[in-house]
Structure 1
Amino acid sequence: MTRSLAATPASEPLALMDAMRGALDRSGPAVLPLAPGAQPGDVALAAHHGSELPDVPHATAAVVRTSGSTGVPKNVVLSCDALLSSASASESVMGGPGQWLLALPAHYVAGLQVLVRSIAAGTTPLVLPPGHFDPAAFIDASKQLTGDLRFTSLVPVQLMQLLQTRAGVTALRRFDGILVGGQALPDPIRERTELLGLHVFRTYGASETAGGCVYNGRALPGVEMNIVDGELELTGAMLSDGYLADDGTLDAGRTGESFVSRDARRWYRTGDLATIENDVLTILGRADNVIVSGGINVNLDRVERVVRALPGLDGAVVVPASDDRWGQVPVVITDVQGARLDEIQDAVGTALGKPARPARVVTVASIPLLASGKPDRQALARAVAERTLA
Structure 2
Amino acid sequence: MPRPLRLIPVNGPEAVDPRELMALLREALAGRGDAVLPSEASAEQRSMGTVPRRVAAVIETSGSTDAPKRVMLSTDALLASAAASADALGGPGQWLLALPTHYVAGLQVLVRSIAAETTPVVLPLGHVEPHDFAAYAETMTEPLRYVSLVPVQLARLLDAADDPRILAVLRRFTAILVGGQAIRPEIMTQADHLGVRVVRTYGSSETSGGCVYNGIPIGNTGARVVDGQLQLTGAVLADGYLDDPERTAERFLDVHGVRWYATGDLGEVDSATGEVRVLGRADNVIISGGVKVSLDAVEAIVRALPGLGDAVVLGEDNREWGQVPVVVSAHPPSSGTRADAAEAVGAALGRAARPARFVAVAVIPMLASGKPDRRALAAQVTVRD
TM-score between the two structures when normalised by the length of structure 2: 0.93
Equivalent in the alignment of 2:3: 3
Which of 237, 259, 262 lines up with 1:266 in the alignment? 259
Which of 278, 281, 289 lines up with 1:283 in the alignment? 278
Q: Residue 375 and residue 176 in structure 1: after superposition, are their counterparts in 2 closer, same or farther (change >3 A)?
A: same
Equivalent in the alignment of 1:349: 346
Q: CA deviation at 1:359?
A: 1.4
Q: Residue 298 and residue 158 in structure 1: after superposition, are their counterparts in 2 closer, same or farther (change >3 A)?
A: same
Which of 16, 20, 24 lines up with 1:15 in the alignment? 20
- For residues 127 and 74 of structure 2, the distance between their equivalents in structure 1, rounded to whole angstroms, comes to 30
- For residues 124 and 386 of structure 1, the distance between their equivalents in structure 2, rounded to whole angstroms, comes to 49
Alignment check: 8 A CA contact 1:272 1:285 kept: yes
- For residues 66 and 122 of structure 2, the distance between their equivalents in structure 1, rounded to whole angstroms, comes to 30
Q: CA deviation at 1:333?
A: 1.8
- Letter of the structure 2 residue corresponding to residue 348 of structure 1: V
- For residues 214 and 100 of structure 1, the distance between their equivalents in structure 2, rounded to whole angstroms, comes to 19
- For residues 136 and 159 of structure 1, the distance between their equivalents in structure 2, rounded to whole angstroms, comes to 13
Equivalent in the alignment of 1:205: 203
Query: Is residue 160 from structure 1 mapped to residue 155 from structure 2 by the alignment?
Result: yes
- For residues 64 and 360 of structure 2, the distance between their equivalents in structure 1, rounded to whole angstroms, comes to 22
Equivalent in the alignment of 1:183: 181
- Letter of the structure 1 residue corresponding to residue 106 of structure 2: G
Equivalent in the alignment of 2:102: 107
After superposing the two structures, state which structure 1 stretch, 332-341 or 62-71, moved more. Answer: 332-341
Alignment check: 8 A CA contact 1:321 1:385 kept: no
Q: CA deviation at 1:172?
A: 1.8
Deviation string for 1:271-323 (max 9, x for gaps)?
A: 01101112111111111111111222111011011112223433321111222
Alignment check: 8 A CA contact 1:230 1:273 kept: yes
Equivalent in the alignment of 2:372: 375
- For residues 362 and 154 of structure 2, the distance between their equivalents in structure 1, rounded to whole angstroms, comes to 20
Equivalent in the alignment of 1:231: 229
Alignment check: 8 A CA contact 1:317 1:334 kept: yes
Q: Secondary structure at the match of 1:173?
A: helix
Task: Tell me the matched-pair count.
Answer: 372
Which of 126, 129, 132 lines up with 1:137 in the alignment? 132
Q: Residue 385 and residue 328 in structure 1: after superposition, are their counterparts in 2 closer, same or farther (change >3 A)?
A: farther
Q: Secondary structure at the match of 2:88?
A: helix
Alignment check: 8 A CA contact 1:8 1:19 kept: no
- Letter of the structure 2 residue corresponding to residue 91 of structure 1: A
- For residues 170 and 332 of structure 2, the distance between their equivalents in structure 1, rounded to whole angstroms, comes to 28
Q: Secondary structure at the match of 2:346?
A: helix
- For residues 43 and 71 of structure 2, the distance between their equivalents in structure 1, rounded to whole angstroms, comes to 17
Alignment check: 8 A CA contact 1:334 1:362 kept: yes
Equivalent in the alignment of 1:324: 319
- For residues 196 and 362 of structure 1, the distance between their equivalents in structure 2, rounded to whole angstroms, comes to 35
Deviation string for 1:355-386 (max 9, x for gaps)?
A: 10111222334321111111111111221235
Equivalent in the alignment of 1:146: 141
Query: Is residue 40 from structure 1 mapped to residue 33 from structure 2 by the alignment?
Result: no
Equivalent in the alignment of 1:248: none
Alignment check: 8 A CA contact 1:64 1:207 kept: yes
TM-score between the two structures when normalised by the length of structure 1: 0.92
Deviation string for 1:179-214 (max 9, x for gaps)?
A: 100001111112221222211110000000000000
- For residues 93 and 265 of structure 1, the distance between their equivalents in structure 2, rounded to whole angstroms, comes to 24
Alignment check: 8 A CA contact 2:151 2:181 kept: yes
* Gap runs ≥5 in structure 1: 246-250
- For residues 332 and 293 of structure 2, the distance between their equivalents in structure 1, rounded to whole angstroms, comes to 26
Q: Secondary structure at the match of 1:313?
A: coil
- For residues 356 and 343 of structure 1, the distance between their equivalents in structure 2, rounded to whole angstroms, comes to 14
- Letter of the structure 2 residue corresponding to residue 342 of structure 1: A
Q: CA deviation at 1:144?
A: 1.4
Equivalent in the alignment of 1:28: 33
Q: Secondary structure at the match of 1:189?
A: helix
Alignment check: 8 A CA contact 1:303 1:356 kept: yes
Deviation string for 1:192-250 (max 9, x for gaps)?
A: 212222111100000000000000000002101111111100000100000012xxxxx
Alignment check: 8 A CA contact 1:321 1:381 kept: no
* Gap runs ≥5 in structure 2: none
- For residues 342 and 355 of structure 1, the distance between their equivalents in structure 2, rounded to whole angstroms, comes to 15
Q: Percent identity?
A: 55
Q: Residue 303 and residue 23 in structure 1: after superposition, are their counterparts in 2 closer, same or farther (change >3 A)?
A: same
- Letter of the structure 1 residue corresponding to residue 8 of structure 2: T
